[in-house]
Structure 1
Amino acid sequence: MDHGRRLDHTATALHVRPNTVRYRLGRLAEIIGVPLNVTPTMLETLRWWWALHIWLE
């Protein structure tokens, strides 16, 4: 989300290969049961959920 939905930029930021990012996004979609070709509003909701989840831990 922070890298304009670009696999290459995300992979560089995470120090992994683009295929690893693709795999992890696929696993995330399986776990949450929502396809990741979602609207920006849904991405913002996911970002807030993640922030709250981390904060509550």
Structure 2
Amino acid sequence: MPEYWIVEHPQAGCVTVLAMVEGAYTEMVFNRGDTVTSPTFPQWQLTVEEMLRS
């Protein structure tokens, strides 16, 4: 799996994106106020708040 996301409970306000890089996952943590970006789909961007409202 090249990439997966973990969306925490809305009260936690955190989104973690794990992307496969050279055979190992790298972790990017986004908190409230951040814009979440995807290494696989860089043109697709949402804020943490937008994701937690969904």
**Bigger helix fraction:** 1
Question: Could you tell me the TM-score, scaled by structure 2's length?
Answer: 0.22
Larger Rg: 1
**Bigger strand fraction:** 2
